[in-house]
Amino acid sequence: MTKPFAINTLLPPLPDEAAAFLERYPDLLSRAYPLKRKHRAGLPDAIQRLSRALTSERSDRPPDYLRDPALLGAYLYYFLPWNLYRLTRLFTGLREPLLSMLPEESTIVDAGSGPLTTIQALWLALPERREARWSVSCLDLAGKAMKIGRELLDGLAGGRAAWKVRLVQKPAPGGVRDLPKRYDLLIAANLLNELATSRDDSPGGAVAGRIGPLLERATSGALIIEPGTRLGGTMVSNAREVAQERGFSAIAPCPAPSTHAASGSLFPCSVLGAHGRGQAWCHFKAAATGAPEWLEKLTKEAGFGREDVSLSFALLAAREVAPREAKRLEARVLSNAFSLGESGESGDSGAYVCTPKGLMLLRAASRAALPTQGSRVFVQPPSGPERDPKSGAPIAELGDES
């Protein structure tokens, strides 16, 4: 049985050492994938084109889009560094459970690896494991991107990374036969959102088919990460349900349960259970402070503004999580604070929170009194029938840890 982890902040500031590495990252990029003059001059336009292909024009995007040199350059010089920035912050927040799951000798599978983004972020966020005897299998169709990613990882390490990295150029989960029969941790980042082409798609069955075969071989846990969009949050919530059916238990961002499978059912996803009622989806934002100056400059040149970063994720243990003993109900804040004036509470503010007892509206006298999105808090369980008219969620008040 896994102990519950007290993860108070999901996206803490970038550690100073990691920030220094990312500030020097263009030097690594220029050695691993030097841009031709025309591609460097056209980089802002290529970034815009790739952004459309990843969002509004995603249904028309070919599966091998990274074979286009201009688009590959845009991905490596813009999207990869921003992903490294946000994933390194996430892994810093998840440091305690990740170190527990990944001792000195560990086996990792990175499904949908691309240019080894998550593996590089692990290297940046967990300096204690940089010399560990890790075996990492990276699974993706984009063989060239993976090779560049391995070179970038070696560049971060100053020559050659200590981890044994194996590249498997196969799709997920079709390449599962080429993976170890057992591995400690499964990481799947930006893998599931490619299954759907519109917000109207029903992703549950597709998620089970894509992630299920990979989960069956994970012995310690799984980390599922998607963009902080409604689609990404839905994919992660469905993946959490699929994993729970296979005996996994949520560690983060879900609050620690008050019961476990031996004595009662692990709580279902609060957000999935409330779909269609207007509440926020499960995602987390943080101000994009401390990002590399060169990346902020390139972002402006491409015509974009980047005030914050967001993501949806689920960290799961491949076993039960021990119940937490507390007099108050643990919760995770899912939204920013907002005014409750329209519901007749002109002076009050609220924020949605996830609890083991389902979605709740946390109410306070002012926005300043409410914790920020992503915070771990304790609430007093609702004592009356009052509910939020928008979501139907019961209304709770802030509590304390005692």
At residue 261, the pLDDT reads 43
| C-alpha angle 138-315-374 in degrees, rounded to nearest 5 | 125
Cα atoms found within 13 Å of the Cα of residue 226, Cβ hemisphere only: 25
In the chain the first and final C-alpha atoms are separated, in Å, by: 24
User: Which residues are within 8 A (CB) of 101 and not within 5 positions of it... i.e. 6 or more apart?
Assistant: 184, 185, 220, 221, 317
What proportion of the chain, given as a percentage, has pLDDT over 90? Answer: 55
Element (H, E) at 213: helix 204-215
114 sits in the region (left: phi over 0; alpha: psi -120 to 50; else beta) called left
For the residues 35-62, what does the mean pLDDT come to? 82
Q: Using the Cα atoms of residue 154, residue 157, residue 161 and residue 166 in order, give the sign of their dihedral.
A: negative
At residue 322, the pLDDT reads 72
For the stretch 17-26, pLDDT in tens is 999 999 999 9
pTM for the whole structure: 0.91
For the stretch 232-274, pLDDT in tens is 888 898 899 899 889 898 899 988 765 444 445 556 777 776 6
For the stretch 173-206, pLDDT in tens is 888 999 999 999 999 999 987 665 444 455 567 8
At residue 342, the pLDDT reads 59
At residue 182, the pLDDT reads 96
10 Å Cβ neighbour count for 3?
14
DSSP string, 94-161: THHHHHHHS-SEEEEEEET-TTTHHHHHHHHH-GGGTTSEEEEEEE-S-HHHHHHHHHHHHHHTTS--
For the stretch 313-348, pLDDT in tens is 999 999 877 766 666 788 999 988 988 875 544 578
Boundaries of every domain in the chain: 16-317, 329-398
Element (H, E) at 251: strand 249-252
For the residues 58-73, what does the mean pLDDT come to? 75
Count of positions (residues) in the chain:
402
Provide long-range contacts, Cβ within 8 A and 24+ apart, for 363-368. Answer: 363/395, 363/396, 363/397, 364/337, 364/397, 364/398, 367/337, 367/338, 367/339
Query: The CATH number of 16-317 is which of 3.10.105.10, 3.40.50.2000, 3.40.50.720, 3.40.50.150?
Result: 3.40.50.150
What proportion of the chain, given as a percentage, has pLDDT over 70? Answer: 87
At residue 75, the pLDDT reads 94
For the stretch 379-398, pLDDT in tens is 988 878 888 888 888 999 88
Q: Which residue has the tokens 């974009």?
A: 304
